[in-house]
């Protein structure tokens, strides 16, 4: 598969690092789900998080429908982690880049399934579980919600996972296949 046109397109964005990976090389683990349940305040509060996204097996099945994925990160300086507004602004910028890349891929035309960073924050208050998701076409479940452990993929592709306390790295994982 030739990814040159995708590479040419994404270089216009302030992407920090990226890699094309085979979906079969991604690790899915129930342990990630256990961590979500125990430690994430968003567990059970969003359509983009477990349990709403389904079991890890179901999530894996869905991802495996796509043989390839584009993994990319963007980086932002956040001098004060307690400044939620500043943190969310950098996340919004990353989400916007993700949205534009997905839109481009779909026009190519590729079929895509996107996981992105953190719990969805499009609406001020998520409608889960009382009403359906308000923006299913814009909402991207978070990578961890699918039980995905990216450590090995990140290492194998010489990408960074941590850049110190004043920098935030956002990741997106766009699965794609020929339409």
Shortest distance (Å) from residue 10 CB to ligand SF4: 24
Q: Give the binding site for ligand SF4 (CB under 6 A).
A: 46-48, 120, 122-123, 126-128, 133-135, 139
| E strand spans, the chain | 17-22, 27-28, 68-77, 110-115, 148-149, 167-178
Tokens of 8: 């040419």
Shortest distance (Å) from residue 32 CB to ligand SF4: 19
CA torsion sign for 54, 112, 122, 142 is positive
Shortest distance (Å) from residue 139 CB to ligand SF4: 4
Shortest distance (Å) from residue 136 CB to ligand SF4: 7
Beta bridge partners of 171: 73
Shortest distance (Å) from residue 7 CB to ligand SF4: 30
Label residue 172 left, alpha or beta by phi (over 0 means left) and psi (-120 to 50 means alpha): beta
Q: Which residues lie closer than 8 Å to 144 by C-beta, 6 or more apart?
A: 32, 35, 36, 40
**Radius of gyration over alpha carbons of the chain, in Å?**
16
Q: Which is nearer to ligand SF4, 46 or 172 (CB)?
A: 46
């Amino acid at each position: 598969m030739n990814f040159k046109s995708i590479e040419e397109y994404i270089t216009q964005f302030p992407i920090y690092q990226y890699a094309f990976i085979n979906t079969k090389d991604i690790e899915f683990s129930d342990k990630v789900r256990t961590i979500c349940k125990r430690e994430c305040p968003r567990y059970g509060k969003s359509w983009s998080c477990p349990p709403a996204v389904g079991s890890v097996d179901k999530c894996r099945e869905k991802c495996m429908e796509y043989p390839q994925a584009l993994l990319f990160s963007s980086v932002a300086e956040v001098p004060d982690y307690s400044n939620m507004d500043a943190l969310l602004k950098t996340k919004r910028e990353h989400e916007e880049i993700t949205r534009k890349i997905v839109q481009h891929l779909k026009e190519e035309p590729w079929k895509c399934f996107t996981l992105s960073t953190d719990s969805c924050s499009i609406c001020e208050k998520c409608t889960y579980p009382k009403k359906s998701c308000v923006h299913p076409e814009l909402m991207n479940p978070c990578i961890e919600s699918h039980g995905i452990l990216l450590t090995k993929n990140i290492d194998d592709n010489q990408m960074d996972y941590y850049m110190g306390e004043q920098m935030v790295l956002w990741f997106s994982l766009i699965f794609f296949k020929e339409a």
